[in-house]
A and B are shown apart, each in its own frame.
Chain A
Amino acid sequence: MPGIEDCLSAAMRIAGARGAGLLDWGSGLALGTAGDSPADDHEATAAEATDLIRLAAESLSFAEPSDPRLPLQDLILTTERSYHLFRLIGTVFDSRLLLHLWLDREDANLAGARMRLQALAEELVLG
């Protein structure tokens, strides 16, 4: 059964991975990190990334009033050299968790990485 460290190590084995983090977007806290961070500072990256996700998650345009679940599932940011994948994790207990994976675009397979990250997110809370 994977813990936070196993989950992040597995994320770092995804092709093109440069850094990974398990973040709490309710508080901006990094519960765990692995590899590098784009700003050489995992805590700053966590605070900024969670702010972005909070805005996306709470953005008025995405609210589907008929669906009580959080509508946001993932967010992928593509830049010239990188992909940033943010996968939200649902838990039974109250939380606002996400997995962040930073990928080198040249070495990454976006579709594959996205599916793998979803599987890792599910394994972390489902065992």
Chain B
Amino acid sequence: MSAAAPRRRQPPGPAVEQLADLQATGALHTETGTLYLDHGAVVHADSPHSLDLGSLLTRCGRVTPDYWQHTLDQFAEHCLVGRMLVAQGALTRGELEVCHLATLYDAGYFALGAFSLATRFEPGVRHWLGPVSGVDPRLLRREAVRRRDLLERIWPWPQVDTAPVRHTVTTDQDGTAARGLSPSPRRRELLGLADGRRTPVELARLLGRSTYATIVEVRRLAAAGLIATPPDAPTHPIPADAMARRVPGATLRRGRAPDPPPHPAPTEPDIALLIRVRTALEARL
């Protein structure tokens, strides 16, 4: 099928708007996700970087993984998964709509941030979830811009979105109260897993939470100095202020001063790709 789908030299934002104007139905693949259109409306989106509907529903135990898999096996082919989840009483209509929109906007944020100019449109392709609700592509794009701006206002160091998350406080006290942040259970859980190995995307998946909301939380925690902000180009083997810590009586740099990176360089392909996503979001949206 993909052989018939021409690549376009067009950023994903304008591409999806053009398809909307043509009332197109099909799948628009970008480097970082896929937008599914039905008569010009975006009816679903997925991205390897955001939490998918199945994970959102199974991680919390709302539906069992077995039930989810069974429903996919039976109804995905006919694009009836959404309808059957409600018909079989696994979810209320409200729950399905809320989860659908939440995952659609989350995936849309990443899919629209693709760096590459190449997008590929597969006409006629439908998503296995089937009809739930649709979003105007212009609204989706506006929302992606708003989300990027919100992150920028919280803590304008986007490297924390993609770097492994490391808690700066090592005692058993998590320090949130002392820094004016509420020590909510959600926050404690996130900080408890911030061991310097998992990225925000991985943490969101582990916790069954929205990836974007997790990134927002990570930026807030970084702004409060509770999560390390690695330098933008983390290439220095020994950061200057790591040296300063060894001097007795030297002031520990906290708050807005970036902490040393937990690793010398982001070498995992996933991180490298996300950095490009971020750059592209800044440049294109």
Contact = CB atoms under 8 A, between A and B. Distances in A.
A124 interface: yes
A22 to B, nearest CB: 8
A25 to B, nearest CB: 9
Interface in A1-49: 1-4, 7, 22, 24, 26-29, 31, 43, 47
Contacts of B269: none
A59 B183 CA distance: 9
A95 B102 contact: yes
Query: Chain A, interface size: which category?
Result: 20 to 34
A97 B105 contact: no
B213 interface: yes
Given A27-B147, A47-B146, A94-B60, A125 B94 contact: yes
Contacts of B105: 27, 29
Given A27-B105, A27-B216, A127 B94 contact: yes
A124 B105 CA distance: 20
A65 B183 contact: yes
Contacts of B150: 27-28, 47
Interface residues of B, number: 37
B181 interface: yes
A94 B207 contact: yes
Contacts of A31: 97-98, 101-102
Interface in A51-66: 58-60, 62-63, 65
22 contacts: A1-B86, A1-B92, A2-B93, A2-B94, A3-B94, A4-B98, A4-B133, A26-B212, A27-B105, A28-B147, A43-B143, A68-B185, A70-B184, A91-B98, A92-B60, A93-B60, A94-B56, A94-B59, A95-B210, A124-B94, A127-B94, A127-B95
Give 6 closest A-B pairs by Cβ, nearest first: A127-B92, A26-B213, A124-B94, A58-B182, A1-B93, A3-B93
Interface of B: 56-57, 59-62, 86, 92-95, 97-99, 101-102, 105, 133, 142-143, 146-147, 150, 177, 180-185, 207-210, 212-213, 216
